[in-house]
Chains A and B, each alone.
Chain A
Amino acid sequence: MARGKKPAEVAHYEPNVEDKLRAAEEALRLQELDSAEALDRIETLEAQVAKTAAITEAANPTANLPTFEANGKNYRFQVAKLNFGNRRILTADQITEDEDLLLMLVNSGSAAIKEV
């Protein structure tokens, strides 16, 4: 009798496939986990970048204040608003639109602006 596969061997084969399938599923799950973990890491990195930016901004709170050019030099405001007497308080943006005020600040050596 030709030696054929014994039913037991066939039966034995089935669990192998299942194992492989389980292994594949496990690999897929791990891969998904990896992706999730990678996503977490990306989020953490993004948070860190944001935090660093916040710290940088805190260390340089004038970074968002307006800049302007006068007498061929560039200046940046160091304050958000200034009082021009008699409670005439103007914001840095408002002052930027008035060339006379800008020149007055530059010529008086005001610390409210800084050459950049």
Chain B
Amino acid sequence: MASTDYSVAAGYRSFVENISTDLYTKLFYEFRTASLVTIHEGVKGKKVWTEMKLLALAKAYFAAYTPADTNQLVPVELEVAPYKVEHKEIPQEMEDTHLGFLRKNGFSHQEWPLERYTLDKLILKLQQELEVAVWQGEKKGTALAEGDSINIVFDGYLKIIADALTASAITAVAVDATTEANILGNLKLMYAELSPEMKTQGTDIFMSYANFDHYVAAMDTKFAGNSAPYVELGSADYRGMRYRQGGGNTTIIPVAGMGDSDRIIMLPRENFHMGIDSLADWGNFNFEQQIRELLYWMDAKIGVQITLLRDGIAVVNDKA
């Protein structure tokens, strides 16, 4: 019996056309960090908005109208950089792994055609790469060259914070390198630097998984396994933990994209921004057939920014 001919680009194209909304949403909105931060769609080059900081409003009564300076307006720039994805595969060679994948209870080839199987893997890998890039990205000082990784195409959150520290926009709290033994003390020292208003409102604490594990272990030791409740972060398999101090309205968020970084960031998640281009552009997923190979290519744009990086609102440690 002849085996099925998988190598038809039309199959992939029609599959993508049918579920392109899902694919796009999955790629740009559903990687861990993207599900937390504020996303700006359709940013073509640079998006500028104004951050307003209100100064003291209520003053002693006098008849004259003397408003003085009641607000500071600071422009915020979110710049996106173009990147591309190029991928080549030979579908026929995927046949065995795909059939093996289907040989599980409850898996139907109609639900999981090869197109979905391979594209799903592609999207998952891309999500991982974007997750790392939005945190660890560091824009190359010189001109980009063909083949450069997306990690040097734009500045990620960690670099933006490092630059803000150098520019004295915020002041890092000097603490020892995080360990299970000192993480509670370090966090307490950092939390003390938050303004009381932020404590009332609640904030988020971003850290690497290694540091999150230190926190969980330290809390387990301290409270005999009865430490603090986990909280879901958008999906059932992504969970953080309530921070014990303050009003219980602060969440510790582990971030895979931070990798081995020892940076700990206290700042509400809404202040992390990500720009993408663009939800309406379905032409993003392209397939071409070349003999047995399927050539996949996609062009898109991405960039990140952080707002309200000021002492009292944002607190970070002095680690990188």
Residues on A close to B: CB < 8 A?
59, 61-62, 78-87, 89, 101, 104-105, 108-112
Chain A interface main SS type: loop
Residue of A nearest to B171 (CB): A83
Known: A62-B166, A111-B162. A105 touches B319 (CB 8 A): no
In contact, A78 and B171 (Cβ under 8 angstroms): no
A104 to B176, CA, bound (A): 8
In contact, B192 and A110 (Cβ under 8 angstroms): no
B176, B193, B263, B318: which contacts A87 (Cβ < 8 A)? B193
Whether B189 sits at the interface, judged by CB under 8 Å, is yes
Of residues 138 to 194 in B, which have CB atoms within 8 Å of A's CB atoms? 141, 162, 165-168, 171-177, 189, 192-193
Could you list some 19 contacts between A and B, CB below 8 A? A61-B167, A62-B166, A78-B162, A78-B165, A79-B172, A80-B168, A82-B174, A83-B173, A83-B311, A85-B174, A86-B192, A87-B193, A108-B174, A108-B177, A109-B177, A110-B174, A110-B319, A111-B172, A112-B172
In contact, B174 and A78 (Cβ under 8 angstroms): no
Residues on B close to A: CB < 8 A?
141, 162, 165-168, 171-177, 189, 192-193, 262-263, 311, 318-320
Residue of B nearest to A85 (CB): B189
A23 to chain B, nearest CB (A): 53
A56 to chain B, nearest CB (A): 12
Q: Given the complex, which residues of A lie within 8 Å of B173, measured CB to CB?
A: 82-85
6 new A-B contacts, CB < 8 A, other than A81-B171, A111-B320, are A82-B171, A82-B318, A89-B171, A104-B174, A110-B319, A111-B319
B197 to chain A, nearest CB (A): 16
Q: Given the complex, which residues of B lie within 8 Å of A80, measured CB to CB?
A: 166, 168
A85 to B189, CA, bound (A): 6
A59, A84, A86: which contacts B141 (Cβ < 8 A)? A59
Q: Given the complex, which residues of B lie within 8 Å of A61, measured CB to CB?
A: 166-167
In contact, A79 and B192 (Cβ under 8 angstroms): no
In contact, B168 and A112 (Cβ under 8 angstroms): no
Residue of A nearest to B186 (CB): A85
A65 to chain B, nearest CB (A): 8
Q: Given the complex, which residues of B lie within 8 Å of A110, measured CB to CB?
A: 174, 318-319
Top-9 shortest CB links A-B = A111-B320, A112-B318, A108-B176, A83-B171, A110-B318, A83-B173, A85-B189, A80-B168, A79-B165
B4 to chain A, nearest CB (A): 55
In contact, A105 and B174 (Cβ under 8 angstroms): yes
Q: Given the complex, which residues of A lie within 8 Å of B177, measured CB to CB?
A: 108-109
Interface centre among B173, B176, B192, B262 (most CB of A within 10 A): B173
A92 to B257, CA, bound (A): 31
Q: Given the complex, which residues of B lie within 8 Å of A83, measured CB to CB?
A: 171-174, 193, 311
In contact, A112 and B174 (Cβ under 8 angstroms): yes
Q: Given the complex, which residues of A lie within 8 Å of B162, measured CB to CB?
A: 78, 111
A61 to B164, CA, bound (A): 11
